[in-house]
Amino acid sequence: MTVAIDSLAGMSGGRIEQRALLRSEQPPADTTLVVRGGRDTADKLRVHAERTARAWSLDGLPLLGISVFAVLGMPLEVLLRRRFASFRTIYLPTAGELGKHGFELMATAQRPHFTVHLERADTGSWGDCWLRSGPPGPIPSTLGLMSGERRAEMYQVDITADLNDEDHTGYLWTFLDEARDPAQITPGALVVAGDEDAAAVCQVIDLVSAGDGTIVHLRPLPGLVDDYRALVERALAS
């Protein structure tokens, strides 16, 4: 499926212009590892890219992109522990491998977050290139191996989100209309965010208008969804 920039540009305004928010720093070296969590498919990548285009613009045009983190200023193991505990699998291409496939890394949000800038949401081209840009297939995350079999096979979330996404606030974000029950998404509420493959317990921080909808900022809480389920089960049994 192809979604051209021109078709997205017809959506109502109010996107967050990224040009002035870009960090002033040199692009990562070709050997720098780039991390993205989740078992991506071409269709899932398209959905994530279109979500970004709903919220963000670059030089007045919708910004198609997907979120990644570069291994900068900390060891890979530390980054995985801090940011990727909820993912069963991760992708680990290098910045150079992404560049060879025509992907541009933009220094968005807070370091070490980057956005892989895409020209169009054509999952028949860049989606396959992304999936080929790193090792053959996703690899088990370090924490996934350490946590054993504690995780549920599938999650049912309160609000769909790409757990890789962060904006200039440093918080995870998604759109309110992706909630199963938007009335439950209020500041301070605890919700399960993500998708069927990767989810996290999060606190709702705020709701702000952007693009053609309302952005929800979320703060992921420490631990896995399964840990909180076990806590509730113990509390109810006592």
Closest CA to 47 of 69, 62, 66: 66
The token pair at 137 is 């297939």
pLDDT of residue 1: 33
Which residues are CB-contacts of 139 (< 8 A; sequence separation ≥ 6)?
89, 90, 91, 92
Please name the helix (run of DSSP H) or strand (run of DSSP E) that holds residue 50, with its range, or none.
helix 42-55
- Label the pairing between strands 213-220 and 113-117: unpaired
pLDDT of residue 179: 98
Q: Whole domain around residue 178: which residue ranges?
A: 159-237
Last residue of a domain, one of 87, 120, 146: 146
pLDDT digits (tens, 9 = 90+) for 150-189: 455 577 899 999 999 999 999 999 999 999 999 999 999 9
Residue 205 has pLDDT above 90, yes or no: yes
pLDDT of residue 138: 57
**Is 153 among the domain residues?**
no
pLDDT of residue 37: 93
| Peptide linkage before 222 cis (omega within 30 of 0) | no
Confidence of residue 200 (pLDDT cuts 50, 70, 90): very high
Q: Does 132 share its domain with 181? A: no
**Is 152 among the domain residues?**
no
Residue 73 has pLDDT above 50, yes or no: yes
- Residue 72 identity: L
In the predicted model, what is the mean pLDDT of the chain? 85
Estimate to the nearest angstrom the gap between the alpha carbon of 84 and the chain centroid.
10
* The total number of structural domains that make up the chain: 2
Q: Does 18 share its domain with 135? A: yes
Residue 80 has pLDDT above 50, yes or no: yes
The token pair at 195 is 């998708």
Q: Does 90 share its domain with 168? A: no
pLDDT of residue 143: 46
pLDDT digits (tens, 9 = 90+) for 8-44: 333 435 999 999 999 999 999 999 999 999 888 888 8
Q: Does 118 share its domain with 141? A: yes
Residue 139 has pLDDT above 70, yes or no: no
pLDDT of residue 8: 39
Q: For residue 29, with 0-12 CB atoms within 10 Å meaning exposed, 13-18 middle and 19 or more buried, which class applies?
A: exposed
CA atoms within 13 A on the CB side of 60: 0
Q: Does 133 share its domain with 197? A: no
pLDDT of residue 4: 38
Residue 7: Cβ within 10 Å count: 12
Residue 67 has pLDDT above 90, yes or no: yes
pLDDT of residue 177: 98
The token pair at 31 is 């050997």
pLDDT of residue 25: 96
CATH number reported for the structural domain that contains residue 186 in this entry = 2.40.240
